[in-house]
């Protein structure tokens, strides 16, 4: 793979993932305990401290194993004094777990801190700038764990977000880096400290006839800790080392018992290694790597075109990998050097190899004047599980649900209703203005939580000068989560899986200001797991629905198996007020906005029982310059107010919409010769805005039909509206394009449009755009199939 061919791939990968990354290694650090024992001397040492000199045949076996291990020395926390103080450790039948855990409870965090301090010093920024902490170890079982103690030892912020990974075996380091990749790429400005630390005191035991696995453990494993700082978009003072372009994990079938580990009363034991481990790894490793590269569109004609960061399980495994890939002698040099100098330190080992590789490249290690640009990191462990580099996704819409309150008022009757309940019949000119506005709104009816009885109970709501915020918030505190739950229940029912399978929750609303908010209450109403990860988006205006979907895209694509419930719910009681001369904005609000909630379940890699609706291929957000005051909203003592709409809003949107759309498509390498080649999911702010978009993009009459139908049936429901349009579009496509007008998802020569766009806009003025794709779009009657016209 040449640099020229790879450069295009880098651009495509970054653009497709829409990350601020890719995640980049910014610094590394390693540490080992003080006790160092040469491999040649280890059999004498080991059989001496365990008082097993009489087992001469086993000692000879260990000598042979050490000679062939590819290791020259190893480091250990335990020494003769510690072992003498714990005579129960050599006896595997002795209940020694508590004593071992007491040792590692202090020693593992201290060793981890030592490696971390080196990484932080190399990084050059204060430890307080660390935003996330990922810790992996097989040496412990504490709650709170190593991560908690490390915060104290390093002086990290109390708000640092921690992830603790226990008992992942030798692939723990790669697994921790995979988690860090997601965190770094999906949290702007994040700096993730990854630490792996291991102490073999957890599995130290005396040799015993019939337990050759004990000799394998004693002949290969050593103690050490590795730390890496990972972040996207390195600053001028940061020194990028390597970029993580993708990450994947693969389980080799029928290898559940090939490598096993478990905590027992005697420590970390129960290990077993398959006799043909080298064959199992060798026969599967190339397939795993090809699976990692192929989705990125990267051709790898020669594995020697890469640099290699491989966990050196054993010297035999490295030879097997050499043979399978026909690697040049120096390709695994970094792995072999780490194995030689330190032995196998479980998950920490791959960080040592990373450190060695980066040092080598920094020293200018070259071939024919060139440094390899692309490389692979690989680790394997219990399972057998391979950790390599590849992205999952794309995020896919799996189910949609919508809900509205009970009160429904036709648009024709609204002016009479509104001026009646506000006791404003005397304002005849304003009433006529509202009638005309309603007639031209493109809306036939709207739904509301508030009714005449509620308004009669709160006369303070009518007067914008009255301090009514508390009373309004009391209403929405209950009503918004209930409406959101109604929409969510429909989505979950359509999805067909239990609510407890939801892993993430993203809630958006302009109707509230509570801590905890609607997200917290929704967990209770829906019976979600208490561990569901919640994100609460307040006050984003009309683009809130698209913004929530953008967040969900990152969560779904960067968390394996994640199923994200996105909910937008709005109640206009927050801005209900009586008409008033000189405040035409009040009439605009009363003539356009309605109440509703929309819910979407988003996940990557749909399962056999799931029905993918649309894929989110990319997501972007754009602010139109000098429009800060074009649309504004704020909470006031009188409710949700302060809104203003620029007189030339339609012109502002129309003059920028095509540029925003092109910005969304161009990074994907998709040429869009005609906007009519797409299906359209557009937030219908007003009928006038839809007409403006029609005109600018020269759309066919039916392209915005889904948006117009939602506007007609419900009005503008802020962020929830675009979810209603998504629902309408998906239902139409599921019906096979319907009969009559094409509905923006046109049927041509028996084909439905494959590609589409979602667009919403709101205060800022901010555009949210997404490129959508219909996956496997063969409809149930078999009449239609996918055709890509792009």
Which secondary-structure segment (H or E) carries 636? strand 631-636
Alpha carbons within 13 angstroms on the beta-carbon side of residue 522 total 32
Catalytic residue (one of 36, 66, 170, 542): 170
Rounded average pLDDT over 52-69: 92
| 282/496: higher pLDDT | 496
Beta-ladder partners of 785: 751
Distance CA 243, CA 177 (A): 11
- Model confidence pLDDT, tens digit, residues 115-140: 999 999 999 999 999 988 888 888 87
How much is the pLDDT for 647? 65
Percent of the chain at pLDDT above 70?
Answer: 78
Picking from 93-102, 124-133, 631-640, which range would have the lowest pLDDT averaged per residue?
631-640
Distance CA 559, CA 179 (A): 8
How much is the pLDDT for 5? 32
Is the predicted pLDDT of residue 785 greater than 60, yes or no?
Answer: no
Rounded average pLDDT over 605-627: 82
Query: Collapsing DSSP states into helix, strand and coil, what is residue 603?
Result: strand
How much is the pLDDT for 727? 95
User: Tokens 């790597």 belong to which residue?
Assistant: 289
Q: What is the mean pLDDT of the chain?
A: 81
Rounded average pLDDT over 505-515: 83
Largest CA distance in the chain: 109
Query: In degrees, to the nearest 5, what angle opens at C-alpha 198 toward C-alphas 194 and 202?
Result: 145
How much is the pLDDT for 300? 65
Picking from 24-38, 460-474, 768-782, which range would have the lowest pLDDT averaged per residue?
768-782
- Model confidence pLDDT, tens digit, residues 255-306: 545 666 555 667 777 555 545 666 666 667 777 777 666 646 666 657 888 8
Is the predicted pLDDT of residue 168 greater than 60, yes or no?
Answer: yes
Q: What are the DSSP calls for 406-468, one per residue?
A: SEEEEHHHHHHHHHHHTT-TT-HHHHHHHHHHHHTSS-SEEEES--HHHHHH-GGGT-TTS--
Instruction: Kindly list the distances between the CA atom of residue 426 and the CA atoms of 268, 419, 432, 582, 585, in Å, as whole numbers in the listed order.
Output: 83, 9, 11, 15, 19
- Model confidence pLDDT, tens digit, residues 511-570: 887 767 788 889 889 999 877 878 777 777 888 899 889 878 877 877 778 899 999 999
- Model confidence pLDDT, tens digit, residues 637-678: 788 876 666 567 777 887 788 888 887 777 677 776 689 988
Which residues make Cβ contacts (< 8 Å) with residue 363, sequence separation at least 6? none
How much is the pLDDT for 245? 67
Cβ contact 738:706 at 8 Å: no
Beta-ladder partners of 30: 226
User: What's the pLDDT band for 683 if we cut at 50, 70, 90?
Assistant: very high
Q: Is 170 a catalytic residue?
A: yes
Distance CA 615, CA 598 (A): 18
User: What's the pLDDT band for 74 if we cut at 50, 70, 90?
Assistant: very high
Distance CA 652, CA 675 (A): 20
- For the chain, what's the residue count? 790
How much is the pLDDT for 102? 85
Is the predicted pLDDT of residue 10 greater than 60, yes or no?
Answer: no
391: which 2 tokens?
A: 């992205």
Domains in the chain, CATH or no CATH each? 3-388 (3.40.47.10), 397-787 (3.40.47.10)
Distance CA 481, CA 269 (A): 49
How much is the pLDDT for 4? 28
Among residues 577, 568, 451, 426, the alpha carbon closest in space to that of 505 is found at 568
Is the predicted pLDDT of residue 745 greater than 60, yes or no?
Answer: no
User: Tokens 């696995």 belong to which residue?
Assistant: 213
């Amino acid at each position: 793979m040449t640099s020229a061919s790879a450069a295009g791939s880098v651009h495509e990968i970054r653009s497709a993932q829409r990350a601020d990354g890719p995640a980049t290694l910014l610094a590394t650090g390693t540490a080992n305990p003080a006790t160092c024992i040469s491999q040649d001397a280890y059999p004498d040492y080991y059989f001496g401290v365990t008082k097993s000199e009489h087992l001469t045949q086993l000692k000879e076996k260990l000598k042979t194993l050490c000679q062939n291990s590819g290791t020259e020395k190893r480091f250990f926390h335990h020494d003769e004094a510690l072992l003498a103080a714990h005579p129960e450790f050599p006896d595997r039948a002795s209940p020694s777990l508590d004593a071992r855990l007491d040792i590692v409870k202090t020693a593992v965090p201290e060793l981890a801190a030592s490696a971390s301090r080196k990484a932080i010093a190399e990084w050059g920024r204060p430890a307080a700038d660390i935003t996330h902490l990922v810790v992996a170890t097989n040496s412990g079982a504490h709650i709170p764990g190593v991560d908690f103690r490390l915060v104290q030892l390093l002086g990290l912020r109390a708000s640092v977000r921690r992830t603790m990974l226990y008992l992942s075996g030798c692939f723990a380091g790669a697994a921790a880096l995979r988690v860090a990749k997601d965190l770094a790429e999906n949290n702007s400005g994040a700096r993730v400290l990854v630490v792996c630390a291991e102490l073999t005191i957890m599995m130290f035991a005396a040799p015993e006839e019939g337990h050759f696995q004990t000799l394998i453990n004693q002949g290969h494993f050593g103690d050490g800790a590795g730390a890496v700082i990972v972040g996207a978009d390195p600053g001028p003072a940061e020194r990028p080392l390597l970029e993580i372009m993708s990450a994947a994990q693969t389980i080799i079938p029928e290898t559940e018992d090939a490598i096993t580990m478990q905590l027992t009363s005697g420590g970390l034991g129960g290990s077993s290694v398959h006799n043909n481990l080298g064959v199992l790894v060798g026969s599967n490793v190339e397939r795993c790597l090809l699976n990692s590269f192929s989705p990125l569109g990267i051709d790898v004609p020669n594995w020697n075109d890469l640099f290699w960061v491989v966990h050196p399980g054993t010297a035999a495994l490295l030879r097997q990998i050499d043979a399978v890939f026909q690697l040049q002698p120096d390709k695994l040099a970094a792995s072999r050097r780490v194995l030689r100098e330190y032995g196998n330190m479980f998950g920490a080992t791959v960080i040592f190899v990373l450190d060695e590789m980066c040092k080598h490249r920094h020293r200018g290690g070259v071939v024919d004047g060139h440094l390899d640009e692309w490389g692979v990191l690989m680790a394997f462990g219990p399972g057998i599980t391979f950790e390599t580099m590849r992205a999952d996704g794309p995020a896919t819409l799996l189910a949609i649900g919508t809900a509205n309150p009970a009160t429904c008022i036709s648009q024709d009757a609204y002016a009479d209703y509104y001026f009646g309940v506000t006791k404003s019949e005397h304002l005849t000119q304003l009433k006529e203005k509202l009638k005309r506005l309603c007639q031209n709104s493109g809306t036939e009816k709207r739904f509301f939580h508030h009714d005449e009885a509620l308004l009669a109970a709160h006369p303070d709501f009518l007067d914008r000068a009255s301090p009514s915020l508390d009373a309004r918030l009391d209403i929405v505190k209950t009503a918004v989560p209930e409406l959101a739950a109604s929409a969510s229940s429909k989505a979950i029912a359509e999805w067909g899986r239990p609510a407890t399978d939801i892993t993430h929750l993203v809630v958006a609303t302009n109707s509230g200001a509570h801590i905890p908010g609607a997200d917290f209450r929704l967990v209770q109403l829906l019976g979600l797991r208490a561990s569901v990860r919640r994100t609460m988006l307040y006050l984003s205006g009309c683009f809130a629905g698209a913004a929530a979907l953008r967040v969900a895209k990152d969560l779904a694509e960067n968390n394996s198996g994640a199923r994200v419930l996105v909910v937008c719910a709005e109640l206009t009681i927050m801005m209900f007020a009586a008409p008033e001369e000189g405040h035409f904005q009040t009439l605009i609000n009363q003539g356009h906005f309605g109440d509703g909630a929309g819910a979407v379940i988003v996940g990557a890699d749909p399962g056999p029982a799931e029905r993918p609706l649309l894929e989110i291929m990319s997501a972007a957000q754009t602010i139109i310059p000098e429009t800060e005051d074009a649309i504004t909203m704020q909470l006031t003592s009188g409710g949700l107010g302060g809104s203003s709409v620029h007189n030339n809003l339609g012109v502002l949107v129309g003059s920028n919409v095509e540029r925003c759309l092109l910005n969304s498509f161009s990074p994907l390498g998709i040429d869009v010769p005609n906007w009519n080649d797409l299906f359209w999911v557009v937030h219908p702010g007003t009928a006038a805005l839809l007409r403006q978009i029609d005109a600018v993009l020269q759309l066919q009459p039916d392209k915005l039909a889904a948006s117009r139908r939602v506007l007609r049936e419900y009005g503008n429901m802020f962020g929830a509206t675009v979810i209603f349009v998504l629902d309408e579009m998906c239902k139409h496509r599921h019906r096979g394009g319907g009969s009559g007008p094409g509905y923006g998802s046109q049927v041509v020569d028996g084909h439905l449009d494959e590609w589409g766009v979602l667009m919403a806009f709101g205060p800022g003025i901010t555009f949210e755009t997404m490129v959508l794709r219909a996956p496997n779009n063969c409809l149930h009657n078999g009449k239609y199939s996918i055709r890509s016209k792009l």
